[in-house]
C-alpha cells in the first residue's frame, strides 16, 4: 500500500477497506449507511460478502482512485447487495462484522446489535442524526459511543485513519 503522510481527501472507503482486510478474516459484513457502496464493492472484489444497508438506494460510482492514485473503472453492470431500509438491531444477527462509516441514525443501534448477537463492529461516527438521543445532551460523541458500548460489556479501541474529516475508528475488541 502506498500512502503519504499528507492526509488523503477522498479515500475514506479505500482506507477503511485496508483497515478491515488487515484486521479481520473475510466474512459477512453489514456496510450500514453505506451510501454508494464503494466500501462493499472493494470488500466483495477481495472475496468478502458485504451488503449495504441504507434507506436510500444509490448506485455504485463509475470509478474510484486507489491508494496508489490510479483511476480504476467500475463495470457498469457491477452491483453490491443492498437492503434498502434503515438499519434495525435485528438485522445485525445475519452478519459477522457491522460497519458504520459516517453512517447516520444507526451508530447506537449497531452497538445494540453487536451486544445482542455477539458481533464485531467498526464505527467512524460523524454527526448525531436520528440516534434517538438529544444531540445537545452529548458533549463528546465518540466518548458517548464508547461508554455506551462499555456499559453493554463491549470493550473498544480507537484508531485514527489517514483521511480528512472524522477519521477516528472505534472498534470492538473481543
Ligand X SMILES: C[S@@+](CC[C@H](N)C(=O)[O-])C[C@H]1O[C@@H](n2cnc3c(N)ncnc32)[C@H](O)[C@@H]1O
Closer CB to ligand X, residue 51 or residue 172?
A: 51
Closest separation between CB of residue 109 and ligand X, Å? 7
Beta-carbon contacts of 62 under 8 Å, excluding residues fewer than 6 positions away, are 73, 74, 76
Where do contacts with ligand X occur on this chain (CB under 6 A)? 12, 32-35, 53-56, 86-87, 101-106
* Cα 28 off chain centre by: 13
The least CB distance from residue 148 to ligand X, in Å, is 17
Q: Find the shortest distance in angstroms from Cβ 90 to ligand X.
A: 13
Residue with cell 431500509: 85
Nearest to 86 by CA among 112, 54, 132: 54
Strands 97-101 and 28-32: what pairing?
parallel
Q: How far is the CB of 127 from ligand X (least distance, A)?
A: 8
The nearer residue to ligand X, 144 or 163, going by C-beta atoms, is 163
Assign 135 to helix, strand or coil.
helix
* Residue pair 119/28 in contact by the 8 Å Cβ criterion: no
Nearer to ligand X, 154 or 161 (CB): 161
Nearer to ligand X, 109 or 120 (CB): 109
Amino acid at each position: 500500500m502506498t500512502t503519504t503522510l499528507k492526509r488523503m481527501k477522498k479515500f475514506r472507503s479505500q482506507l477503511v477497506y485496508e483497515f478491515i482486510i488487515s484486521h479481520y478474516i473475510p466474512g459477512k459484513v453489514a456496510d450500514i449507511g453505506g451510501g454508494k457502496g464503494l466500501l462493499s464493492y472493494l470488500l466483495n472484489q477481495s472475496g468478502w460478502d458485504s451488503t449495504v444497508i441504507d434507506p436510500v438506494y444509490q448506485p455504485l460510482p463509475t470509478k474510484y482512485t486507489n491508494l496508489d492514485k490510479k483511476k480504476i473503472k467500475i463495470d457498469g453492470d457491477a452491483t453490491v447487495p443492498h437492503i434498502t431500509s434503515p438499519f434495525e438491531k435485528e438485522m445485525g444477527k445475519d452478519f459477522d462484522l457491522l460497519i458504520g462509516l459516517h453512517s447516520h441514525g444507526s451508530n447506537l443501534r449497531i452497538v445494540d446489535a453487536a451486544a445482542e448477537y455477539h458481533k464485531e463492529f467498526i464505527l467512524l461516527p460523524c454527526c448525531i442524526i436520528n440516534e434517538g438521543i438529544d444531540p445537545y445532551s452529548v458533549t463528546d460523541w465518540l466518548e458517548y459511543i464508547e461508554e455506551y458500548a462499555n456499559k453493554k460489556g463491549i470493550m473498544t479501541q480507537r484508531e485514527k485513519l489517514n483521511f480528512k474529516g472524522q477519521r477516528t475508528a472505534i472498534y470492538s475488541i473481543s
